[in-house]
Amino acid sequence: MTARPDIDLVVFDILGTMVDEPGGIRRGLRTALPDIDDARTTELVEAWQRHVEEQRQQILAGRRLYANGTVIDLEAATRVAADAGISDPDAIRALAAAGQRLEPWPDTVRALDRIAAHFPVVGLSNASHSALTRISAYAGLRWHQVLSAEDAQAYKPHPDVYGLAIANAGSSPDRLLMVAAHAWDLRGAQATGMRTAYVERPVGDPPTATDSFDLAATSLDDLAATLTAL
């Protein structure tokens, strides 16, 4: 295994960066509601994601005790189901599980394997441990290690979550490269001293004019080519 001299390990965000999270929720809704149209599906997906984000912010602000991502996804599914007229508990649990059946982006698996041939690769996610097992298995993601924010009892961009990757690497933060499709995630990593790489995804959070990341790529294939060439 060879590596770029100044990078010891590559850390990847998973939800949105490696897998299509909104797409999985969308498929779950269409399974539960076969007659639903695109506009209504989008509305319910956005309601789900809004609930998740609001609850994470409540936890980060200290206004709610920590609850892991699986618990919050079930809450979101329950709220969306109620809005859509679904009351059957089994149907609600099946809908919540859609958040763990997420398709990888077309280049995810091959690019991850390519990078993993040169660097240790670690997933770092706000998803719970149990969800990460299912997400990685469903999408075919082969990690050297997967870390969950559940161990920090917090959510990215709290520094304790990035601290999990730093502590497990046994390296200084500036020798770790954080890869994400979300600029907010990379800003959080930057604040802990990690290197950063932005990857474009259809559901990501693009950088603003004031952001300055170490690398930027139009795809994970593009990032793999850059990293393996160095």
Domain count, the chain: 2
Residue ending a domain, among 100, 132, 163, is 100
- Cβ-proximal residues to 173 (8 Å cutoff; 6+ apart), any chain: 162, 166, 192, 193, 194
* In a domain? residue 218: yes
pLDDT digits (tens, 9 = 90+) for 174-203: 999 999 999 999 999 999 999 999 999 999
* In a domain? residue 88: yes
Q: Are residues 173 and 74 in the same domain?
A: no
CA dist 222 and 200 (Å) reads 10
> Is residue 83 a contact partner of residue 32, using CB atoms and an 8 Å limit?
no
Is 60 exposed, middle or buried, given 0-12, 13-18 or 19+ CB atoms closer than 10 A?
middle
Q: Are residues 109 and 215 in the same domain?
A: yes
Residue 62 corresponds to which tokens in the numbers above?
């200290």
Range of the domain at 89: 21-100
> Is residue 119 a contact partner of residue 94, using CB atoms and an 8 Å limit?
no
CA dist 41 and 131 (Å) reads 23
pLDDT digits (tens, 9 = 90+) for 151-160: 999 999 999 9
Q: What's this model's pTM, rounded to 2 decimal places?
A: 0.95
pLDDT band at 78 (very low <50, low <70, confident <90, very high): very high
* In a domain? residue 3: no
Q: Are residues 53 and 140 in the same domain?
A: no
Residue 5 reports pLDDT greater than 90 = no
First vs last C-alpha separation in the chain: 13
